[in-house]
Amino acid sequence: MKFFVDTADTAEIAELAATGLLDGVTTNPSLIMKAGRPMKDVIAEICKITDGPVSAEVAATDYEGIMREAKVLAAIAPNVVIKLPLTMDGLKACKALTSAGHKTNVTLCFSATQALLAAKAGATYISPFIGRLDDINLDGLELIREIRTIYDNYGFATEILAASIRTINHVRDCAIIGADVATIPPSTLKALVKHPLTDKGLETFLADWAKTGQSIA
């Protein structure tokens, strides 16, 4: 499973990119707002940090407006992925952009039938929001299972990009189900390496090593 980081904080992205574990980046209007800088500048800087896919979201909701904004975003860098709303106009734009050779990420998916439509429109990625479904007492992970089954049934190439991830368990379960990508907040991504037994074991090993009085270097 590929790991994308869900942030527009370029310092966080650079730190995670240095680990070699980062496959891409997703942004949205809310994250751009938090960055407090012009969107095009932020996206351009992110694309210099990583050569992986970088999702940049349109703000327009009508087809013509979406296409105008997509043209501007696509010109920023070759690895920009155009992020589109899961609406009829968004799907129409997805089909047109995909046909023109652009990568697309259809976002705000909350049902398997929506995901089916996005795949038929040629989306590169579909972004089901599992955390937001959990918030209203629905099973977000069940949506990932349903989409995986549908896509496998028909051989769709669209990748399942699990979004709105809140916990380490979300990441684990998405990997078990077979999501292609998880886009994860920086804090959650960093927490994946943590385990109390790892910390305890390392502490014991270091204490024993100190008793030997040896030095490797």
In the chain, what percentage of residues exceed pLDDT 90? 100
80: left (phi over 0), alpha (psi -120 to 50) or beta: beta
| Model confidence band, residue 48 (pLDDT cutoffs 50, 70, 90) | very high
| Model confidence band, residue 124 (pLDDT cutoffs 50, 70, 90) | very high
Beta strand residue intervals within the chain, DSSP E: 2-6, 24-26, 54-57, 80-85, 104-109, 125-128, 159-162, 181-184
C-alpha to C-alpha distance for 168 and 184, rounded to whole angstroms: 9
HSE, CB side, 13 Å, CA atoms: give it for residue 201. 5
Catalytic amino acids? 83
- For 92-123, what is each residue's pLDDT tens digit? 999 999 999 999 999 999 999 999 999 999 99
Mean pLDDT of the chain: 98
pTM, full prediction = 0.95
| Model confidence band, residue 83 (pLDDT cutoffs 50, 70, 90) | very high
Backbone φ, ψ for residue 65 (5° rounding): -65, -40
- For 8-38, what is each residue's pLDDT tens digit? 999 999 999 999 999 999 999 999 999 999 9
| Model confidence band, residue 63 (pLDDT cutoffs 50, 70, 90) | very high
Q: Residue range 42-57: average pLDDT?
A: 98
Task: Yes or no: say if 125 and 143 are a contact pair by the CB < 8 Å rule.
Answer: no
